Structure 1
Amino acid sequence: MADPAEHAADLPPCPSASEGGLLPAELRAWMVLLAATGAIEQRLGPVLKDELGVSHDEFLVLCLLADRSEGGLRMTRIAELLGRPKTRLTYQIACLQHAGLVTRRSVCGDKRGVEVALTDKGRRMFTEASSTLTDTVTSGLAQIRPEEREVMCGMLPEEAGGEKG
């Protein structure tokens, strides 16, 4: 299978990066952002399988948990943060638990609440893979063309570093 990163420079600019169509600037910026993140996800997918043995969605769960200095997160909060249905998240957490990367436990005082946390194995694997994963994301970000960056920055409010509109 061909490496998608290998031909990224050969791709034409994202059509939504140029003005003239029906899209308002905010929707155009959103489409450019989606295209950029989609391209990075395609690069990241095989690396995640090789390095961690997880899917992209499982990786997002691991990222949320790895970003916590201690403890875990309730499953409902993970679902909210990722915008995923709870039923799909339950399956992903079960896969991660089966791999020994996370634990699940009931939340004290709430029999329906479930908290998920990284195991030592999960933390170790994530730490070991971080450099490779970071390099993959960085190389994907480097493929974003200047005109696409400009469109995305224009989407941000001025207080967040966006351009004055």
Structure 2
Amino acid sequence: MAEPAEPAADQPGCPSAQGGGLLPAELRAWMILTAATGAVEQELRSVVKGALGVSHDEFLVLCLLAEQPADGLRMTRIAELLGRPKTRLTYQIACLQHAGLVTRKAVSGDRRGVEVALTGKARELLSDASGTLAETVKRAVEQFVGPAQREAVHGLLPGLVEH
């Protein structure tokens, strides 16, 4: 695996990685992991937009639904799993529905419940783009996850066995 790229000469590295600040080790480790995740997401954003024509947040909804049974998930559960406010999710689902990528239907016996599922069009798009998206993630992880991030994970999960 490649080591993380060095920051540009005018850009300092992740401040949390240096330690010695006010944060306990667990919070410092979380900040290191958050920074790496953000960098991977940034690399993925433009590829997602080009390949699927959706925003990164909409892509996360599609990925979540892709791993579910064909009947989909309740919107409240999607909001919980993605840590999104329900109002924001409602807008994203409306955009995905307008694009023909998801369907919405009322949950039987629950007048307030709404279930969301992928359409065939979305499944086909995800299938067609999955190789490119997976390669983008792999390259970004290789670039942004190095010794500091591995050490952070080990610090948070000391019982984790390294392979």
- If the length of structure 2 is used for normalisation, what is the TM-score? 0.88
1:9 maps to which of 5, 9, 16: 5
After superposition, residues 92-131 of structure 1 pair within 5 angstroms as 92-131=92-131
Task: Mark the CA change 1:69 to 1:43 in structure 2 (over 3 Å): closer, same or farther.
Answer: same
Q: Distance in 1 between matches of 2:19 and 2:31?
A: 12
Query: Given that residues 70 and 118 in structure 2 are in contact (C-alpha distance below 8 angstroms), is that contact kept between their aligned partners in structure 1?
Result: no
The CA RMSD measured in Å over matched residues stands at 1.6
Q: Distance in 1 between matches of 2:83 and 2:62?
A: 15
Q: Which runs of 5+ in 2 are unaligned?
A: none
* Matched AA of 2:68: R
Cα-to-partner distance string for 1:13-39 (whole Å, 9 max, x where unaligned): 422123322211110111011100110
Cα-to-partner distance string for 1:119-143 (whole Å, 9 max, x where unaligned): 0000110111111111111111112
Name the structure 2 match of 1:5: none
Greater Cα offset, 10-19 or 59-68 = 10-19
Deviation (angstroms), 1:41: 1.1
Deviation (angstroms), 1:157: 5.2
After superposition, residues 14-163 of structure 1 pair within 5 angstroms as 14-143=14-143, 144-156=145-157, 158=159, 161=160
- The one of the two structures with greater contact order (alpha-carbon pairs below 8 A, sep at least 6) is 2
**DSSP-derived class of the 2:103 partner:** strand
- If the length of structure 1 is used for normalisation, what is the TM-score? 0.87
Query: Given that residues 48 and 56 in structure 1 are in contact (C-alpha distance below 8 angstroms), is that contact kept between their aligned partners in structure 2?
Result: yes
Query: Given that residues 102 and 117 in structure 1 are in contact (C-alpha distance below 8 angstroms), is that contact kept between their aligned partners in structure 2?
Result: yes
* 4+ aligned runs moved over 3 Å, structure 1: none
Q: Percent same amino acid at aligned positions?
A: 68
* Matched AA of 1:146: P
Q: Which runs of 5+ in 1 are unaligned?
A: 1-7
Q: Distance in 1 between matches of 2:161 and 2:149?
A: 13
Q: Distance in 2 between matches of 1:156 and 1:56?
A: 28
Report the count of equivalent residues. Answer: 154
**DSSP-derived class of the 2:121 partner:** helix
